[in-house]
Structure 1
Amino acid sequence: MIEVAAAIIEDEAGRILIARRAKGKSQEGMWEFPGGKLEPGESPEDCLRRELLEEMGITIEPYAYVGANKHDYGTVMIKLIAYKASFVSGEFVLTDHDDYRWVGTEEFEEYTFAPADVPFLRMLNE
């Protein structure tokens, strides 16, 4: 099982950051809460700080555990661990994604999300 962390980053207007997986990546074309795989011995919070800086060029600060869920993609089982986080600084430079958006929770249905992220959509809409 692969442990993956996801950041649910909210801006001052209450919108959430989502990102679209680039062509050639697993889950290409699907939207997700950005994040990545935990390195051995790494906390989810440290993983999110590292991954968002590497993949998007931004600094964030995780502050609240949201939840975790397991998803079987057939070839791999992942445990997705989500944290709410604050945007601290940086200019977006995308490496694993080809687009990003700040969206309201009422807009989630307009996007096709990676299956492992879907339970968090429901949590955020409650």
Structure 2
Amino acid sequence: MNQHPQIAVRAIIENRKGAVLVLKRANTSSGDGLWCLPGGKVDYGQTLAQAIEREVAEETQLSCRNPRCLFFHESVPTSTPATHYITFYFFCQVDQEPMLNFESSDFAWITPQQLQDFQFAFLNDVALRRYWTDAR
């Protein structure tokens, strides 16, 4: 078990209609078949803004310019094996449709009313509820 917190970033990407982009995970070591927000771990030497721009570009081919940090969430380990994550959530707006890499098998633009129709990894559903309730 890693004894140090891992830092991650996730993007809440809205289209012009106000729907948020979610990705269906595939070909990864965790969460395959579940939905999540674009994002991942921060590389050593990167700022949070650089990390979210890189992750969004890698996973969706979209440009996340001038990302705005909305909030963070801690996932503290409660069982073994587990990892302690501190995840920072950023807001981005885009005009294009994503082009997925190998880590995702599908994408969807969702509204608050559709949240319960998707099974999420990494507590991203909790983050989306917070975004739609508090953080806009």
Please say whether Structure 1 and Structure 2 have the same fold, judged by a TM-score greater than 0.5. Answer: yes
Structure 2 distance, partners of 1:30, 1:62, is 28
The DSSP-based 3-state class of the residue aligned with 2:75 is strand
TM normalised by structure 2 equals: 0.81
Q: Which runs of 4+ in 1 moved over 3 A?
A: 88-91
The DSSP-based 3-state class of the residue aligned with 2:126 is helix
Q: Tell me which moved more, 2-11 or 38-47.
A: 38-47
Residue type of the alignment partner of 1:117? N
1:28-107 to structure 2, matched below 5 A, reads 28-72=32-76, 74-87=81-94, 91-107=98-114
Unaligned runs of 5+ in 2: none
Partner of 1:13: 17
CA contact (8 A) 1:60 1:88 kept: no
Unaligned runs of 5+ in 1: none
Q: Tell me which moved more, 95-104 or 5-14.
A: 95-104
Q: Tell me which moved more, 99-108 or 20-29.
A: 20-29
Higher strand share: 1
Would the alpha carbon gap of residues 90 and 121 (structure 1) be closer, same or farther in structure 2, given more than 3 Å must change? closer
Partner of 1:118: 125
Q: Tell me which moved more, 116-125 or 48-57.
A: 116-125
Number of equivalences: 126
